[in-house]
Chains A and B, each alone.
Chain A
Amino acid sequence: MSKTVDARGLSCPQPVLMTLDEIKAGETNKIEVLVDTDTSKENVARAAQSQGWTVTDTAEDNGGYKLTIKKE
């Protein structure tokens, strides 16, 4: 079951904090993160990788990005 983190419009470091909260909740091994800047996209990807997660997809979404991150 995948979860969605909607971090659109939030400034640093909220997108990373929200993503890490969801990762640490440990309820899922697939999270979709919505962000609206390239900085947030890169920061979320870096944070996810530091937790041993993999970015499996980065899609443009409504002027921002939808990142899909997974724990294998």
Chain B
Amino acid sequence: MKNFLATRWGIIGVGVCIGVLAPLLQKMGNPGNMGICVACFERDIAGAIGIHRAAVVQYMRPEIIGFVIGALFAAYLFREFRPRLGSAPIVRFILGVLAMVGALVFLGCPWRAALRLSGGDGNAILGLLGLITGIWIGTLFLKSGYNLGRSQKTHVTAGWMLPLIMLGFLILMLIYPYIAGQNKNGVLFYSIKGPGAMHASLFISLAVGLFIGIIAQRSRFCTMGAIRDYVLFRQTHLLFAFVALIVAALITNVVLGQFHPGFKGQPVAHTLHVWNFAGMALAGLAFCLAGGCPGRQLFMVGEGDGDAAIFVLGMIVGAAFCHNFGLASSPKGLGPHGIAAVIVGFAVCLFIGFTMRKRIT
């Protein structure tokens, strides 16, 4: 059967859908220029379960749960659920941690970089240039033989581990829902101010997450792949979808009155150009070495990819590191150890890139 969403117009349609839905989520309560941000939302989840205690970024984001479960549903429906793991899991975990460090120095993943740009945030230009640079460095490693080795087929149960964790998170959220003005309900932490306190209703967020999970799994939408494939192969298949997302989000933002061009005073953003660039360059390099943007990693989890699951857990744990150890930026500027973290992050990525170039047989 022909997979329409994986055709050129199909995946452009997916980019348009995400580009329209993200600003709508913002309109319905999500934070500014953060209708959907995979890194920020995983960071909020880390806060919700209390592995960091930054009071302003704690919320169990249903969008992330929806991405995984929607992709899982689509993968089963179209017989694409293939449980697999074992391709350098510890390296993927570290890359997940470092991707989160870079993303939280910039304040956003590639999805949010696009959404920030379409909301008029000029700082996103530096972020996107950094993203391109990081991915370009990654392609140099790919050209010189870098790889993480083969995965193996495994038990269905193994492929279900992270989807089950996500279902568990959803159940916790239903048992211990957000109560206005309370920073904790049962085992879950909730922000009562800051970006973590800004959210659309649970069911709208979950429904949008499920829908995007389904169409993104079918189309293989990937923001890192968009840039990587163009740099490596001059292939524009994924790139058109990424550009479609930006254009659709720009139009939606203008229509909704959410387009505010400028550099200063942008929501959940800082104006340190060098570190917007460097943070996203680190994230882009880590995503490239790990084979997918943070969204794509979630959709691959739904397909039964246990290595992508390890990367996601790396990002969630990395978010805890970022807030516990002062690595994450805030609208006031860099965290006290943000610069050191970016430098160490680059060193580790380069170490991984240079030393894992053996040809696989």
Contacts and interface: CB of A to CB of B under 8 A. Distances in A.
Nearest to A62: B153
B183 interface: no
B228 A10 contact: no
Contacts of B360: 10
A11 B233 contact: no
A26 interface: no
Interface string A30-72: 0000001111001100110010000000000001000000000
A14 B147 contact: yes
A57 B142 CA distance: 28
Given A13-B228, A39-B220, A20 B151 contact: no
Nearest to A43: B220
A9 B80 contact: no
Q: Which of A11, A36, A42, A47 has the most C-beta atoms of chain B within 10 angstroms of its own C-beta?
A: A11
Between A9, A16, A42, the greatest number of chain B beta carbons within 10 A of the residue's beta carbon is seen for: A9
Interface residues of B, number: 30
Contact of B220 (A9, A42, A47): A42
B305 to A, nearest CB: 8
Nearest to A20: B233
Interface in A1-41: 8-14, 16-17, 20, 36-39
A9 B82 contact: no
Contact of B148 (A11, A13, A43): A11
A37 B321 CA distance: 33
Given A13-B232, A42-B220, A50-B235, 5 more contacts: A9-B151, A12-B222, A13-B228, A17-B142, A50-B233
8 contacts: A9-B87, A9-B151, A12-B222, A13-B233, A20-B233, A36-B82, A42-B220, A46-B237
Interface of B: 3, 6, 78, 80, 82, 84, 87, 142-143, 147-153, 220, 222, 225, 228-229, 232-233, 235, 237, 291-292, 303, 307, 360
Interface of A: 8-14, 16-17, 20, 36-39, 42-43, 46-47, 50, 63
